[in-house]
Amino acid sequence: MTFILKYKQLNEERDIPHENYTIKDLLKELELSAQTMVSKQNGELVIEDTVIQDGDEIQLVQIIYGG
């Protein structure tokens, strides 16, 4: 069970570590603040409670920057 993560230059295949693995869990793992990001699942905006499915493409977009 894997998904594709796209974030900035990153474009990699990652394992889904457990059942009901959400985007929120992924953000925590990457130490990214949910407050500064929005997420897309297969090209569509979704909330962070969304469970990542096998074969998903998850794209993270940072929307808040300093300065």
Q: Which is nearer to other proteins, 17 or 34 (by Cβ)? A: 34
C-alpha closest to that of 30 among 62, 1, 54, 55: 62
CB of 15 to other proteins, least distance (A): 26
Binding residues for other proteins, rule: CB under 8 A, are 35-36, 38, 44-47, 49, 61-67
Q: Which is nearer to other proteins, 4 or 48 (by Cβ)? A: 48
CB of 56 to other proteins, least distance (A): 15
Q: What is the DSSP letter of 64?
A: -
Q: Do 59 and 9 meet the contact criterion of CB atoms below 8 Å apart? A: no
Residue type, 4: I
